[in-house]
Amino acid sequence: MADYNALKELALSCGFSHVGNLDADTIEVHPEVRDSCASNKCQAYDKNWACPPACGTLEECSERIHKYKKGLILQTTGELEDSLDFETMMEIAEEHGKHMDAYCDEIRKQYPDALIIGDGQCKRCKTCTYPDEPCRFPNKMSSAMEALGMVVSDVCARNDIPYYYGPGTLTYVGCVLIE
């Protein structure tokens, strides 16, 4: 059985600003979230192993998620100068990605079967091999919560961790499912 207090301490040491418990039974997947991926706003749809359609059908994603019972929600929150402060938004996103990579690397040592779910497309490689060759690092790849059909704010609310930390803040969210 996982020591969640130690896993939370590890998450904070990797740089996350907030960490909360995650009950996998609270996670719902929604076709409309997956449909928004198909609109390709992030330019990763059908171009990355961690994104739709390569990450699996919504049913397959739900099955993968619900093999687990517990985990952690991982958040990186930063402060913006104003609502148009895109430079800081990108810096917070980059920091969150670094936190996710560091945490993933440590968690995989202890729990090789953990399901790491991030935000945005997997960025472990400069150029993804999809669809021509297999993923170079399948044990380091992580799909976005949205790619798996989750409404991020709902997952946070159902697990009693804030998603919004006040005016002038921005929060990126990922999670890990362990057992």
Is the per-residue pLDDT at 97 higher than 80? yes
Radius of gyration of the chain measured on its C-alpha atoms? 15
- Could you give the CA distance from residue 144 to residue 120 in angstroms, rounded to a whole number? 5
Q: How many residues does the chain have?
A: 179
Q: Where are the beta strands (DSSP E) in the chain?
A: 18-23, 70-79, 115-118, 143-144, 169-177
Q: What local confidence, expressed as pLDDT, does residue 98 receive?
A: 94
Sort strands 70-79 and 115-118 into parallel, antiparallel or unpaired.
Answer: unpaired
Query: Has residue 141 got a pLDDT over 90?
Result: no
d(CA 128, CA 11): 27
Average pLDDT over residues 9-13: 97
What pLDDT does residue 31 have?
94
Task: Determine the distance from the C-alpha atom of residue 52 to the mean position of all C-alpha atoms in its chain, rounded to a whole number.
Answer: 14
Q: Report whether pLDDT(43) > 90.
A: no
Please report the pLDDT score of residue 144 as a whole number.
92
Question: What pLDDT, in 10s, does the model give residues 113-133?
Answer: 999 999 888 888 889 999 999
Element (H, E) at 12: helix 4-13
Q: What is the pLDDT of residue 2?
A: 87
64 CB contacts (<8 Å, ≥6 apart)?
Answer: 56, 115, 148
Q: What is the pTM of this model?
A: 0.93
pLDDT at 99 over 90: yes
Does residue 40 have a pLDDT over 80?
no
Mean of pLDDT values over 103-122: 92
Please name the helix (run of DSSP H) or strand (run of DSSP E) that holds residue 126, with its range, or none. Answer: none
**To the nearest whole number, what is the mean pLDDT of the chain?**
93
The whole-angstrom separation of Cα 66 and Cα 103 is 21
Predicted local confidence at residue 62, as pLDDT:
96
Q: SS3 for 135?
A: coil
Q: Give me the sheet containing 169-177, strands edge to edge.
A: 18-23, 70-79, 169-177, 115-118, 143-144
Distance, in Å, from the CA atom of 121 to the CA atom of 73, rounded to the nearest integer, reads: 18
Name the percent of the chain lying above pLDDT 70. 100
Lowest mean pLDDT segment, chosen from 4-8, 69-73, 121-125: 121-125
